[in-house]
Structure 1
Amino acid sequence: MVSHLPEKVYISFDIDGLDPKLCPHTGTPVPGGFETEQIFYLIRRIVQSGRKFIGFDLVEIGVGDTEWDANVGARILWKLSNLLVASNS
């Protein structure tokens, strides 16, 4: 999959694609969705391939009665930021 990507890669991360146990209050939960480590594995492979990770957006973080979804969103934001820096150093 990575070999079919262009030299410069922009990632749009929609939290809806994660397993609902991670963000249960997102707009459109997807039963059987991805685990975060599966997504980050793919992004690390993009970086390791020599492609330039040029940016990202993070959308569909739900709001619930607890801070669960916000915490997951913040952790994803942190990880994406670190991978972006690693790709551009």
Structure 2
Amino acid sequence: MPSIIYRNFRQIADAEGARSALLAEGFANSAVQLNLHEARALSTTASAVKNIMDSLTPDDVDNTDKPDRPAALLSVDVDDDAQREQADRIMARFGAQEA
């Protein structure tokens, strides 16, 4: 049954690698879509508060040195369960996370 798989990636390079691997394995170019997540702009007040809070907490406790959000979303059109499993295996190699 045709469906679409959506997976998030922490790094754009990982999403691009997964897309290339999917294409190399025979998925159609039109079936694999890469969308970059755009960071929301913070207001001046929100940015100031975030910077103050980040400075009060060690990085290894609150992970402020790591991205909070995925960097990219990859969607893949699949025709059946076999393609779904194949796409899932390929994307998992690149650190895909459920969207």
TM-score computed with the length of structure 2 as normaliser = 0.28
Q: Which has the higher contact order (CA 8 A, sep 6+)?
A: 2
**Structure having the larger proportion of residues in strand:** 2
TM-score computed with the length of structure 1 as normaliser = 0.30
Larger radius of gyration: 2
